[in-house]
Structure 1
Amino acid sequence: MRAHEAGALHGDIGNRGPAWLRTPVDVNALVPALWPRHVTRAADGALAVAGLSVRDIADRFGTPVYVLDEDDLRSRCRDFRAAFPTEDVYYAGKAFLCRAVVRAIAEEGLFLDVCTGGELVTALSAGMPPERIGFHGNNKSVAELARAVDAGVGRIIVDSFDEIDRLTALARERGVRPRVLVRVTVGVEAHTHEFIATAHEDQKFGFSLAGGAAAAAAFRILDEGVLELRGLHSHIGSQIFDTSGFEVSARRVLALQAQIRDARGVELPELDLGGGFGIAYTTQDDPAAPADLAKRLRKIVDAECAAEQLVVPHLSIEPGRAIVGPAVFTLYEVGTVKDVDGIRTYVSVDGGMSDNIRTALYDASYSATLASRASAAEPMLARVVGKHCESGDVVVKDEFLPADVQPGDLVAVPGTGAYCRSMASNYNHVPRPPVVAVRDGQARLIVRRETEDDLLALDVG
């Protein structure tokens, strides 16, 4: 939506709509904030990533395909590492995880968060040092906890009293002392979609601060002395641009830290403020640079620790989307262009909600551009939709595309690195797309395309 000009609102074509619909746009221009850092429009009009044409990518790997600008990913890792040099930066693997990404973030000096046994085995199989892994999740099984303990993961973020009991029993059996953080639900209403706001009281994650469960969890761990309580954890949601929520969260978590000190004489040495830092999906979004985030978060923590007379704990953060989201775009082929009685033009592509559920699930907004060529045609307001049997199968709700877009054209949607492949499905028995990493003009397959044989292999009836 509005990849080429500022402003993005819903409306109708013509004089009935808002002014931006009647403003000329350059459908060939790219807004740098929305695209991986090494994407350009080449002299022949096609997009290129790190010097490699998207037409070559489509010819070799087919479409749809997720295209990862590997140097962009690595540079964003370095940006966070430079901005938080004395803190621990955990890449949130749930955004997108594969062995190539694990190796990249490890080589760039980041830690890694996982939240299931499957993510953990992926991390270990890629050679991530277990002491640099944190294990999240609201319902970790005994088997998952056992695998984490046996592997020697660096920390486990406990999320319930049942989990504390399970982990305590495992630790006693094995004669080990796992390091844990208590996840605290701080009651902050983050300015984001309700499904990705995680710190209000009425939801499944963490221990309630207001109800006293968070303090009770910390006291239980300290009193039993089996697990090593390292600190507290808070995560207020995702796609957040306003740091005021982090300020409230830090104040409340550090007040609990002071309560624990006063009641048990223990100052916990660590504090994790979570992640959820927003990225630019459209020109309406204005994310902060990592250096700005670091400055604001340190100021918040320093002020709250001074107010509570606490030693400033060792901080950690958990960016996922902010690292991988902008580093990837999805490349589609147009199959059908349909004008619906002059109301709207629908541009149908060969993917959809099975490779990007976020538009349907969260009402998320995306941008798009004609990728295989430039065009001198007039801009038209289009809706990019998928091939699935759902009227809600929308990829990009509103975007200016050239009026001569036609079947066989390639369309690219930026900002699809986070949660698109991770949440992909086989709806309508559509195989999931591959992930291709491009670096120095060379492409390599890092996650292969699913095939119909893959689908049938699971069907044993």
Structure 2
Amino acid sequence: MHLYGTQTINSKGHLEIGGTDTVRLADEHGTPLIVYDTGLIRSRARAFKKAFSDEGVPAQVAYASKAFSCLAIYRLAEEEGLALDVVSGGELFTAIRAGFPAERIHFHGNNKSREELRMAFEQGVGCIVADNFMEIGMIGELSKETGRGMDVLIRVTPGIEAHTHDYITTGQEDSKFGFDLNNGQADEALRILSETPGMHVLGLHCHIGSQIFDTEAFGLAARSLIGKMDAWRREKGFVCPVLNLGGGFGIRYTEDDHPLEPDEYVRSMILTVKAAAAETGYPLPEIWIEPGRSLVGDAGTTLYTAGSMKTVPGIRTYLAVDGGMSDNIRPALYGAEYTAALANRMKLPHDTRYTIAGKCCESGDKLIENARLPETSEGDLVAVFCTGAYGYAMASNYNRLPRPAVVFAENGEHRLAIRRETYEDLIRLDAEPAAVGKEGMR
């Protein structure tokens, strides 16, 4: 069993996170409950930043907040001096409400609406990552309408396919994101932006995928982008001050995952960018990265209460919990794997196999196949590790299940970050049903 960050086992045999007993947290806040080890998030953020500063390389580390967004996590990111990557008007609105400095916000997304882009101009975001030609046209129009300029990064697909699941691979040529680097689209994007008043092109951006465990793909992407930037310098006299290599750094979901430490990813990037720039005499650009999952993923643990069990003789025993695909759709969506433990009986041998199933009315609502736990009874507290990224962010009210509460734990204290939804919350947006007379609804 692998423990993460500040996780420990106390004298009662209970799992502790951030110095707080998870059994007490579940008693106080109910389950399902997502507990974030904010000390681990802070240490990861500082490790990414320190890796750049140790090498004396100008950089910007932006939290890719699609992994998990709320007021509290944006405030934590601001406290740690991070920039912020948002991908929708809703994320931008939340960040501004959290008091996050707009000038440190990068606005991403492959289908930004005119209203979302207008919000970005009105709030004065630090840059927009341009994803397609229609968007470039809207940015230019809004710049003219608002009388405000805008820094822009051009997102490109460098043709690099990272070794990851098809659904989370984004850097290959056949992608819904960005301009193709090799067929002239990126060159045309630069031309249009350069001729549009108020636009200031910072450089190139790419994101090649997620859950990447080596540095080879990042190196190939960096060399590809530096090559294009050098061509623009030679052919157009334009030098890009920024190179954004995105995120996608892997984390350990199971014992089969072997991620690198943050400084290993960063140092490899720096070495590659320096080498590629030196080979062509290109001025070293400022390097931007966008860790999301690698900041919050293994900092999150979901606590569930064990419920019913069903044994299929000779096949498996199902252990149902009081959540499931409504708060973690990743296993059903693309076969994501997790590990679990009994948070209230951590010291017992975890040698009984269960298939941990959710309570949604779907046969595919299974969180973990062949989870190893002690012999489990109704009411036990099941902890599923590494749920901090794309768990709550992708949660739904399927089957009208309320979304769970979220707490932040650190240094023996905890605070509520997101309250649990109530049944009243579930119907809050419903229109009142119209009265139906004898003749039926008209």
Specify the TM-score bucket, using the shorter chain as the normaliser.
over 0.9
Deviation at 1:337, TM superposition (A): 2.1
- Residue 148 (structure 1) aligned to one of 120, 128, 135: 120
How far residue 43 of structure 1 moved from its aligned partner, in angstroms, is: 1.2
* Whole-angstrom CA distance in 2 between matches of 1:252 and 1:378: 47
Aligned to 1:278: 250
- Determine the structure 1 residue equivalent to 2:16: 48
- Deviation of the 1:206 alpha carbon: 0.2
Contact 2:219 2:268 in 1 (8 A): no
Check whether the contact 1:50–1:440 (CA below 8 A) recurs between aligned residues: yes
Q: Residue 446 of structure 1 corresponds to which residue in structure 2?
A: 417
Q: What is residue 429 of structure 1 aligned with on the other side?
A: 400
CA distance in structure 2 between the partners assigned to 1:347 and 1:43 by the alignment: 27
SS of residue in 2 equivalent to 1:230: strand
Q: 1:372 to 1:136 in 2, by over 3 A?
A: same
1:159 corresponding residue in structure 2: 131
Partner of 1:304: 276
1:412 has 2:383 as partner: yes
| 1:400 corresponds to which of 365, 369, 372 | 372
Give the Cα–Cα distance (whole angstroms) in 1 for the partners of residues 389 and 203 of structure 2: 28
How far apart are the structure 2 equivalents of 1:139 and 1:218? 19
SS at match of 1:254: helix
State the shift of 1:230 in Å.
Answer: 0.8
State the secondary structure of the residue aligned to 1:198.
coil
TM-score, scaled to structure 1: 0.91
Please give the per-residue CA displacement for 1:440-461, whole angstroms capped at 9, x wherever unaligned. Answer: 2222111011111111112114
Who is 1:202 aligned against? 174
Contact 1:254 1:308 in 2 (8 A): no
Indicate whether 1:456 and 2:427 are aligned.
yes
Q: Is the 1:66–1:328 contact (alpha carbons within 8 Å) kept by the matching residues of 2?
A: yes
1:80 aligns with 2:48: yes
Distance in 2, Cα, partners of 1:55 & 1:126: 30
Cα distance in 1 for partners of 2:206, 2:349 equals 50
Structure 2 counterpart of 1:334, one-letter code: A
In the alignment, is the contact (CA less than 8 A) between 2:157 and 2:177 conserved in 1?
yes
Q: Does the residue aligned with 1:275 lie in a helix, a strand or coil?
A: coil
Equivalences for residues 342-381 of structure 1 within 5 A: 342-374=314-346, 376=348, 379-381=351-353
Comparing 285-294 with 230-239, greater Cα deviation is found at 285-294
Residue 73 of structure 1 aligns to a residue whose secondary structure is: helix
Q: Match of 1:21?
A: none
State the alpha-carbon separation in 1 of the partners of residues 280 and 353 from structure 2.
54
Q: Which runs of 5+ in 1 are unaligned?
A: 5-30
**2:213 counterpart SS class:** coil
Q: Out of 127-136 and 37-46, give the one that drifted further.
A: 37-46
2:198 pairs with 1:226? yes
Change (3 A) 1:286 1:174: same
Contact 2:328 2:392 in 1 (8 A): yes
Are the aligned partners of 1:196 and 1:238 in contact in 2 as well (CA < 8 Å)?
yes
Q: How many angstroms does 1:373 deviate by?
A: 1.8
Q: 1:189 to 1:378 in 2, by over 3 A?
A: closer
Deviation at 1:377? 5.9
Question: In structure 2, what is the Cα distance between the partners aligned to 1:81 and 1:375?
Answer: 37
Decide whether the 8 Å contact of 1:431 with 1:449 is kept in 2: yes
**2:31 alignment counterpart:** 63
416-425 or 450-459, larger mean C-alpha shift: 450-459
The answer to whether residue 383 in structure 2 is matched with residue 383 in structure 1 is: no
Counterparts in 2 of 1:206 and 1:378: CA distance versus 1, 3 Å:
closer
Letter in 1 for 2:425: D
Q: How many Å separate the matches in 1 of 2:102 and 2:19?
A: 36
What TM-score, normalized to structure 2? 0.94
Aligned 8 A contact 2:232 2:239 in 1? yes
Select 2:299's aligned residue among 327, 330, 352: 327
Distance 2:139 2:156 in 1: 18
CA distance in 1, matches of 2:175, 2:265: 27
Partner SS for 2:246? strand
Residues 387/87 of structure 1: CA separation in 2 closer, same or farther (3 Å cut): same
> Partner of 2:68 in structure 1?
96
Tell me if the contact between 2:66 and 2:390 (Cα under 8 Å) persists in the aligned partners: yes
Q: 1:433 to 1:378 in 2, by over 3 A?
A: closer
After superposition, residues 117-196 of structure 1 pair within 5 angstroms as 117-196=89-168
Following the alignment from structure 2 to structure 1, what is the Cα–Cα distance between the partners of residues 16 and 210?
Answer: 30
Give the Cα separation in 2 of the matches to 1:397 and 1:300: 40
CA RMSD of aligned residues (A): 1.3
1:415 partner letter: C
| Residues 80, 378 of structure 1: alpha-carbon distance in 2 compared, 3 angstrom cutoff | closer
Q: Tell me the distance in 2 between the aligned counterparts of 1:331 and 1:201.
A: 40
Could you say which residue in structure 2 is the equivalent of 1:318? 290
Aligned partner of 1:401: which letter? L
2-side partners of 1:374 and 1:217: how far apart?
A: 56
Corresponding residue of 2:223: 251
SS in 2 for 1:224: coil
Over 3 Å counting, the alpha-carbon distance change for 1:269 and 1:45 in structure 2 is same
Determine if contact 2:63/2:82 at 8 Å carries over to the other structure.
Answer: yes
d(CA) in 2 for partners of 1:193 and 1:245?
A: 14
Can you give the 5+ residue segments of structure 2 that lack an aligned partner in the other structure? 434-442
Inter-partner Cα distance in structure 2 for 1:258 and 1:331: 51
Q: In 2, are the aligned partners of 1:346 and 1:383 still within 8 Å (CA)? A: yes
Residues 140 and 197 of structure 2 are in contact (CA less than 8 Å); yes or no, is this contact kept in structure 1? Answer: no
Q: 1:288 aligns with which of 240, 243, 260?
A: 260
The percent identity for this pair of structures is 48
AA aligned to 1:436 is: V
